[in-house]
């Protein structure tokens, strides 16, 4: 199978992260990759089996990305991922396959694959994947630097928070329709947690997690984020990978551990139909359920290219219709009470906390 070749502008090549390993039993695939990678100024290494790939990785620690066929005989794609993790090689893995269902795709992503791509594919898809891998690696490197500083120099929490908040702003700016989305979700979450009378540290963690809940979207292509139509299957799978991607970015930082549930779990549904793990009701941590609800509310009350924002009265009806299916029913009832009290509007206008707390009979 030939990979379609297209011209690529020279600005694609950057310093560092240049060596790519291609593992595929088909000679034509390996050599098509080699032509294109070399034309971009990258360094291709080729292997026809998983075993040969491990030999190459043992000798070339500069490999930053491995494209591997999922269904090879012997040590296939999944086995190669396991060996790469076991041997602590610092390479991301993209699986190539003729067919893959969404459930298996999510399973592979959770078990260490960076992404997957279906054959046959255009070389533009390969270029995009390489760019996304580089962005993620840069973020992970920054995260590890912060962790090292925290351990050796006791860096102040505020410095790390400022960095992460700035990154969240960059992600929101990738789409005109998500501008300030993370700010609103964080403000609403803080207001809701105060309304629920949660402990101070708990709602601070939840609101910070809400601010960073979409951090994994840094690797989602802009054309998908800004799509004005229904996403196709592959685009939707890329979008659905962002909670896992976000958790991977934050995991190296011990300080981020309390907010991981909000990043990883804000697309789980109460009835188990969500992702990435299909958790049911209270299997999803409280912070994840709160951010799910608040994120859902902001989505339906914000402008989108395919619809106008809903007024609060209509949004309440939607929340109530999704209660017990997508949303936690008890939290939904409390959130509707907050909206009706006007406290959520106060939080939006002031960027702070509402003056109201929950009425208890």
Coil, helix or strand at residue 310: coil
- Asked, as a colleague might, if the bond just before 120 is cis with ω within 30 of 0, I would say yes
pLDDT for 178: 63
CATH number reported for the structural domain that contains residue 83 in this entry = 3.40.50.2300
Span 13-56, pLDDT tens digits: 444 578 999 999 999 999 999 999 999 899 999 999 999 999 99
Same domain, 221 and 259: yes
2 has pLDDT over 50: no
For residue 70, tell me if it sits in a domain: yes
Same domain, 168 and 302: yes
The vertex-144 CA angle with 138 and 148, nearest 5°, equals 145
How far is residue 37's CA from residue 287's CA, in Å, rounded to a whole number? 43
For residue 268, tell me if it sits in a domain: yes
Helix, strand, coil percentages (3-state) for the chain, rounded to 5, are: 55, 10, 35
**Regarding predicted confidence, which is higher, 251 or 336?**
336
Domain range for 52? 10-137
For residue 146, tell me if it sits in a domain: no
Give Cβ neighbours of residue 61 (< 8 Å, ≥ 6 apart).
89, 90
pLDDT for 158: 61
**Residue where a domain terminates, one of 106, 137, 168:** 137
**pTM of whole model > 0.75?**
no
**Residue where a domain terminates, one of 137, 171, 192:** 137
Task: Check: CB of residue 77 under 8 Å from CB of residue 70.
Answer: yes
How far is residue 353's CA from residue 244's CA, in Å, rounded to a whole number? 30
Task: Check: CB of residue 160 under 8 Å from CB of residue 173.
Answer: no
Cα torsion 128, 129, 130, 132: sign? positive
For residue 4, tell me if it sits in a domain: no
For residue 148, tell me if it sits in a domain: no
**Regarding predicted confidence, which is higher, 111 or 47?**
47
328 has pLDDT over 80: yes
Which range has highest mean pLDDT (25-29, 99-103, 142-146)? 25-29
CA distances from 59 to 86, 217, 302, 309 (A): 16, 33, 52, 56
The proportion of the chain whose per-residue pLDDT surpasses 70, expressed as a percent, equals 79
Same domain, 280 and 312: yes
pLDDT for 232: 87
318-341: average pLDDT: 96
DSSP one-letter code for 286: H
**Residue where a domain terminates, one of 109, 137, 165:** 137
Same domain, 79 and 171: no
Cα torsion 212, 200, 197, 286: sign? positive
pLDDT for 281: 95
Which range has highest mean pLDDT (52-61, 111-120, 135-144)? 52-61
DSSP one-letter code for 11: G
**Regarding predicted confidence, which is higher, 256 or 149?**
256
pLDDT for 260: 94
**Regarding predicted confidence, which is higher, 213 or 149?**
213
Q: How many domains does one find in the chain?
A: 2
How far is residue 348's CA from residue 345's CA, in Å, rounded to a whole number? 5
Which pLDDT band holds residue 348 (cuts at 50, 70, 90)?
low
288-314: average pLDDT: 90
> Do the bridges between strand 92-97 and strand 43-47 make them parallel or antiparallel, or are there none, so unpaired?
unpaired
């Amino acid at each position: 199978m030939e990979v379609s070749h297209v011209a690529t502008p020279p600005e694609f090549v950057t310093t560092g992260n240049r060596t790519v390993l291609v593992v595929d039993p088909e000679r034509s695939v390996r050599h098509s990759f080699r032509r294109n990678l070399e034309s971009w100024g990258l360094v291709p290494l080729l292997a026809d089996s998983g075993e040969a790939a491990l030999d190459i990785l043992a000798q070339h620690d500069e490999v930053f990305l491995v494209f591997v066929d999922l269904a090879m005989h012997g040590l296939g794609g999944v086995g190669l991922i396991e060996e790469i993790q076991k041997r602590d090689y610092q390479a991301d893995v993209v699986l190539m396959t003729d067919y893959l269902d969404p459930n298996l795709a999510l399973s592979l992503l959770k078990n260490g694959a960076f992404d997957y791509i279906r054959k046959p594919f255009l070389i533009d898809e390969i270029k995009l994947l390489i760019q996304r891998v580089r962005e993620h690696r840069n973020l992970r490197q920054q995260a590890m630097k912060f962790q090292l500083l925290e351990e050796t120099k006791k860096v102040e929490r505020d410095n790390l928070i400022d960095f992460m908040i700035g990154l969240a702003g960059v992600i929101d700016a990738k789409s005109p329709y998500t501008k300030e989305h993370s700010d609103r979700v964080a403000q609403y979450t803080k207001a809701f947690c105060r309304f629920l009378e949660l402990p101070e540290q708990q709602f601070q963690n939840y609101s910070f997690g809400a601010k960073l809940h979409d951090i994994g979207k840094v690797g989602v292509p802009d054309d998908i984020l800004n799509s004005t139509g229904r996403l196709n299957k592959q685009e939707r799978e890329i979008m659905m990978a962002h909670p896992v991607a976000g958790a991977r970015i934050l995991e190296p930082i011990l300080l981020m551990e309390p907010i991981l549930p909000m990043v990883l779990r804000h697309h789980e549904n109460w009835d188990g139909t969500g992702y990435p793990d299909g958790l049911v009701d209270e299997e999803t941590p409280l912070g994840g359920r709160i951010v799910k609800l608040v994120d859902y509310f902001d989505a339906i009350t914000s402008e989108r290219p395919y619809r106008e924002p809903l007024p609060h009265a209509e949004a309440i009806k939607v929340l109530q219709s999704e209660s017990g299916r997508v949303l936690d029913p008890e939290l939904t009832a409390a959130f509707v009470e907050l909206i009706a009290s006007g406290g959520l509007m106060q939080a939006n206008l002031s960027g702070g906390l509402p003056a109201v707390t929950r009425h208890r009979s």
